[in-house]
C-alpha cells in the first residue's frame, strides 16, 4: 500500500510538473553522446566559439572615440520634465513628510521645521527647488 501511495504521489507531481525527476540531458556530437559535466563543457565551448567575433582594431578605435564624445543632449523629452514646481505641489510634498526617527541632516533642518514653515520661507524654498530643477544641480548647502 505504501508503494502505491508513493507512486501516486510521484505521478501527481509529474502531472503538476512539481519536483519531477528528470532524465539526464545527453548531447550527440561527432565523437558520440556526452552527458553531465562533459555536456556542459560542450555547450560552453560551442557558445564561446559562436560568440567570439573578430573586431578590427580600427573599429575598436572608432567605438572608443564615440564613447568619449559627449552625447547629444538635444533629445526631445516630455514637456512636464521642464515644468516648474508649483506652490500646491510643494505644500502636498511638505505635508506628506513623516517625523524622522533620526537626527537632522548636517544643515540642521528637521522634517518638523519643513512641515511648519511660513509663507515667505515657502516662496524662497520653491525658488531654490525650481532653480535646482532647471539647472539639474542640487546645492550642497
pLDDT in tens, 82-115: 678 899 998 888 888 887 766 667 777 888 888 8
Number of domains forming the structure of the chain: 2
- For position 74, what pLDDT does the model report? 57
d(CA 33, CA 27): 5
> Is 8 inside any structural domain?
no
Kindly state whether residues 46 and 83 are assigned to the same domain.
Answer: no
| Residues 64, 80 contacting (CB under 8 angstroms) | no
The confidence band for 4, taking pLDDT boundaries of 50, 70 and 90, is: low
**Confidence bin at 58 (pLDDT 50/70/90):** very high
Residue 24: domain span: 14-50
Q: What is the pLDDT of residue 2?
A: 58
| Claim to verify: residue 46 and residue 87 sit in the same structural domain | no
Percent of the chain scoring above 70 in pLDDT: 70
Task: Kindly state whether residue 115 falls inside one of the protein's structural domains.
Answer: yes
Cell of 43: 555547450
Q: What is the rounded distance in angstroms from the CA atom of residue 81 to the CA atom of residue 84?
A: 9
16 against 88, higher pLDDT: 88
Q: What pLDDT does 100 receive?
A: 72
- Residues of the chain above pLDDT 90, percent: 4
Q: Is residue 100 part of a domain?
A: yes
Lowest mean pLDDT, pick from 27-36, 76-85, 99-108: 76-85
In a domain, 131, yes or no: yes
Contact 5, 13 (CB under 8 A): no
Per the domain annotation, does 62 fall within a domain? no
| 74 vs 105: which has the higher pLDDT | 105
Q: Name the one residue in this structure whose C-alpha cell is 572615440.
A: 65
69 lies in some domain: no
Flag whether 85 is in a domain: yes
CA distance 52 to 46: 10
What mean pLDDT, rounded, does the chain reach?
A: 77
Amino acid at each position: 500500500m505504501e508503494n502505491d501511495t508513493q507512486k501516486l504521489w510521484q505521478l501527481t507531481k509529474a502531472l503538476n510538473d512539481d519536483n519531477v525527476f528528470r532524465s539526464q540531458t545527453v548531447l550527440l556530437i561527432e565523437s558520440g553522446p556526452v552527458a553531465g559535466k562533459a555536456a556542459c563543457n560542450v555547450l560552453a565551448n560551442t557558445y564561446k566559439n559562436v560568440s567570439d567575433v573578430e573586431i578590427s582594431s580600427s573599429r575598436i578605435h572608432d567605438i572608443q572615440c564615440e564613447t568619449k564624445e559627449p552625447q547629444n543632449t538635444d533629445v526631445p523629452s516630455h514637456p512636464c520634465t521642464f515644468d516648474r514646481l508649483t506652490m500646491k505641489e510643494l505644500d502636498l510634498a511638505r505635508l506628506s513628510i513623516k517625523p524622522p526617527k533620526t537626527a537632522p541632516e548636517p544643515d540642521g533642518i528637521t522634517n518638523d521645521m519643513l512641515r511648519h514653515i511660513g509663507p515667505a520661507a515657502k516662496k524662497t524654498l520653491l525658488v531654490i527647488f525650481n532653480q535646482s530643477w532647471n539647472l539639474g544641480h542640487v546645492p550642497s548647502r
